[in-house]
């Protein structure tokens, strides 16, 4: 169980601070809830069960995990799928899985395509990449005590180096 003051990763909201842990009675059932405030949107308040079976809250990655994820960007990413709809479903499924490695591999494929071709990104690809940058890059930045912009620059450099550019 987490404690008040902990910074955690919560589903699609990314980095959040736990500001309260309280009991709530809903539909005749008392449960413990976390009150979360996303670091990027401190005015937003999220309430989620602390004992949820499908827990959407995870610990922030360690420095070692962040460094291992960054190293993936120097390697080939997942296969580029030409069909836009199939790519969108496949990549979104990987992002929704919550696996940081899978998410990094999707980002790798999208950023590699963006950096190495003159083709315009499709809106779906741009949205997927933006979501990843807002969630994963911020978490890596926190683990390594960097800004998300510095993380993005390091990733771009690693991808270009891996491409021999």
Domain borders along the chain are: 7-59, 63-162
pLDDT in tens, 42-62: 899 999 888 866 667 889 999
Q: Write down the architecture of domain 7-59 according to CATH.
A: Beta Barrel (2.40)
Q: Of 154, 165, 163, whose CA–CA distance to 69 is shortest?
A: 154
CB 69 within 8 A of CB 151: no
State what percent of residues in the chain have pLDDT above 70: 96
The whole-number average pLDDT for the span 6-15 is 88
Long-range CB contact pairs, 109-117, < 8 A, 24+:
109/77, 109/78, 109/79, 109/80, 111/73, 111/155, 111/156, 111/159, 112/77, 112/159, 112/163, 113/80, 115/156, 115/159, 115/160, 115/163, 115/165, 116/163, 116/165
Q: Write down the architecture of domain 63-162 according to CATH.
A: Up-down Bundle (1.20)
pTM for this entry: 0.83
pLDDT in tens, 74-108: 888 788 999 999 999 999 999 888 889 999 999 99
Whole-number mean pLDDT of the chain?
90
């Amino acid at each position: 169980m987490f404690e008040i003051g902990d910074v955690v990763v919560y589903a699609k909201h990314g980095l959040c601070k736990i500001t309260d842990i309280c009991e709530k009675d809903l539909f005749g059932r008392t449960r413990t809830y976390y009150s979360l405030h996303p670091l990027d949107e401190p005015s937003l308040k999220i309430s989620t069960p602390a004992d949820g079976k499908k827990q959407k809250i995870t610990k922030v990655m360690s420095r070692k995990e962040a460094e291992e994820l960054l190293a993936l960007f120097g390697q080939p990413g997942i296969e580029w799928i030409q069909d836009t709809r199939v790519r969108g479903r496949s990549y979104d499924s990987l992002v929704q899985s919550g696996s940081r490695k899978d998410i990094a591999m999707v980002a790798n494929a999208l950023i590699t395509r963006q950096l190495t071709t003159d083709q315009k990104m499709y809106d779906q690809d741009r949205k997927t990449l933006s979501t990843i940058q807002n969630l994963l890059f911020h978490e890596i930045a926190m683990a390594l005590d960097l800004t998300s912009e510095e993380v993005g620059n390091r990733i771009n450099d690693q991808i270009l180096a891996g491409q021999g550019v």
